[in-house]
Structure 1
């Protein structure tokens, strides 16, 4: 039965329904399905016709992906606008503080103390020799037909892998570090959502690049001896993950320019 036309489908359904409800001749047995089938057809026809008239040639289930993409774009624009406003306010605060420090001795002393800690805190650019480590997902794909093969978790870079490299480089004497060209400070947290990296409110896709300034030989030795890094290198051989380590003769790490809000802090002695 076709329900392309509301009027046509209704005529067919009603005719068959009435045919099933007609009284039987004497001696002829009435079967339950002979009544049930027309009624079911009648209800189905009602549903199909209602759907056809409601849709009116369009899809009842709208594709919300364009709206979602637009929402993401709007939120990014809003965040960028607020970041620009925050940058302007910070510049104004810096200018007013510098002016006040010229006439207020306590403010001047506090400013000088803060300036002396900016480099250690990551708020100034730094350049020098170092090491860059890049981690990448495998190009292979998990196969349902091979139960003994790798699954999806085996083929992507995890949060623990990035943390293992970061911790090893700090242990190897790194003086400063950046992840995806964003300066790492004391409040930085390495977090992964799926196979993406979340750092200071920004989301990054692999490959993940970690660069540290320091003595390259010492950091290389620390990477070689770190258990988490060794496990990742084994996975590189087994599953095709990506690991590259490059010695930098002179690399520049930009100053951290994001939020530095703290709930509590203590000045180092």
Structure 2
């Protein structure tokens, strides 16, 4: 049996069991980086210094103090300016109230003067109207009237303010189911032609010189706006006037508006209707032209090369 040769000792210590974990051991033994340690040592050698967290807190405190100062200054300026703004606002309100009061007084004065002028015109008409004074007063709307007649109510279609009613042929604006000035013109003209002796719309007395116009969607009678529904009162033979109007072309026109565009209307015979006098009295008289005036007109036409029809 052969013997193995003895193992020679080399003199080096045996390897550590954790030699393969040297990197981890180094990290555990030196948890603080050497550079941080050196920097801390230098600050300690120089007599120390303000810690970074403390400097951050002082900076934040300084910022808050500055912001508080800015807010306080703004509030102080606003408090100083507030009385001035309030004073200017109150002065503006006072001026508006004063101007509104002055405008109302002027309007009242205008109405008063207009009423006085109308009264004097009526008196003058009664004094100088001659045998036709009553007829002229009736046609010019100088006096209030009452008697049998008809009551015609015309109103916009339901939902007209929401754009209902459907489009209608027009020259200048789209139809939304509203009653237009041209509609009321035809209604009033139809009543005159059917035998009405006097007519009013919403208390506004109409004469042969009255004008029915439009301003946007509003209807004006002698430059005074009316609000729907439009109540038309006409003095005359009630039953005959009602029948004649409904059979006329203008009555059929109103019926078409009702059937096709939803405009609402109703007519009734009344035993008595009351119409006020016209707010303004306008009387025009016609005089026959003399032979001299006719000859002068003919000479003027010949000189200008324009004839008269």
Aligned mates of 1:161, 1:257 — CA distance in 2: 23
**1:133-171 CA distances to partner (integer Å, 9 max, x unpaired)?**
111112214778xxx972461410011211111111111
What does 1:190-209 correspond to in 2, within 5 Å? 190-209=212-231
1:222 matches 2:250: no
Partner of 1:140 in structure 2? 159
1:231 aligned residue: 253
SS at match of 1:165: helix
SS in 2 for 1:248: strand
Shift of 1:85: 2.5
Please give the alpha-carbon distance, in whole angstroms, between the structure 1 residues aligned to 2:270 and 2:263: 23
Scaled by the length of structure 1, the TM-score of the pair is 0.58
Q: SS where residue 175 of structure 2 aligns?
A: helix
Q: Would you say 1:115 and 2:133 are equivalent positions?
A: yes
CA contact (8 A) 2:187 2:254 kept: no
Q: For the structure 1 residues 126 and 68, does the alpha-carbon distance in structure 2 shift closer, same or farther, using more than 3 Å as the test?
A: same
Considering only CA atoms, is the larger Rg found in Structure 1 or Structure 2?
Answer: 2
177-186 vs 250-259, greater mean Cα deviation: 250-259
Matches within 5 A, 1:1-269: 75=103, 77-88=105-116, 91=119, 110=128, 112=130, 115-116=133-134, 117-141=136-160, 150-151=166-167, 153-260=175-282, 265-266=285-286
- Let me know the Cα RMSD of the aligned residues: 4.5
Structure 1 gap ranges (5+): 1-6, 9-55, 59-66, 102-107
Contact 2:199 2:235 in 1 (8 A): yes
Deviations 1:86-114 (Å, cap 9, x if unpaired)? Answer: 4335556877x69xx9xxxxxx6x35457
The 8 Å contact of residues 149 and 269 in structure 2, kept in 1 or not, is answered as yes
The structural deviation recorded for 1:221 is 2.6
1:72–1:245: structure 2 CA closer, same or farther, 3 Å change rule? farther
Of the structure 1 ranges 216-225 and 248-257, higher mean CA displacement relative to structure 2 is found in: 216-225
Instruction: Look up the SS of the partner of 2:184 in the other structure.
Output: helix
User: SS where residue 153 of structure 1 aligns?
Assistant: coil
Question: Given the two structures, how large is their TM-score scaled by the length of structure 2?
Answer: 0.52
Any conservation in 1 of the 2:139–2:208 contact (CA below 8 Å)? no
Task: Give the distance between the partners of 2:220 and 2:184, measured in 1 at CA.
Answer: 11
